[in-house]
Amino acid sequence: MDTGTKISEVPDFGKKVVTVSGREILLVNVKGKIYAFENECPHQGSPLGAAVVKDSYISCPRHGYRFNLSDGHCDGHPDFVLATFPVQLSGDTILVDLG
């Protein structure tokens, strides 16, 4: 599904929250690779718009749980997995598959 967002609108090591089909999706850009996540921490539901992005993980602003960018798993708290969505590009427009 079209996010209506171009890669250039998501800063490197930055984020952008978009709404797709009524769901808030967090887009993350790490060195030109785009990731898409549910904008809701699986721990206690914090929005992730203020999360910190590192090379391999995103850190929730509320309690600091770190979720792997590739599959959303959390090393320190394996019961909590951040929902991730496949990303495709159409030209420079970001598409996500919400399943």
Residues that bind ligand FES (CB under 6 A): 41, 43-44, 46, 60, 62-63, 65
Nearer to ligand FES, 9 or 38 (CB): 38
Nearer to ligand FES, 9 or 24 (CB): 24
CB 30 within 8 A of CB 18: no
What is the DSSP annotation of 19-76? EETTEEEEEEEETTEEEEEESS-TTT----TT-EE-SSEEE-TTT--EEETTT---SS
Nearer to ligand FES, 71 or 90 (CB): 71
The distance of closest approach from Cβ of residue 66 to ligand FES in the complex, given in angstroms and rounded to an integer, is 9
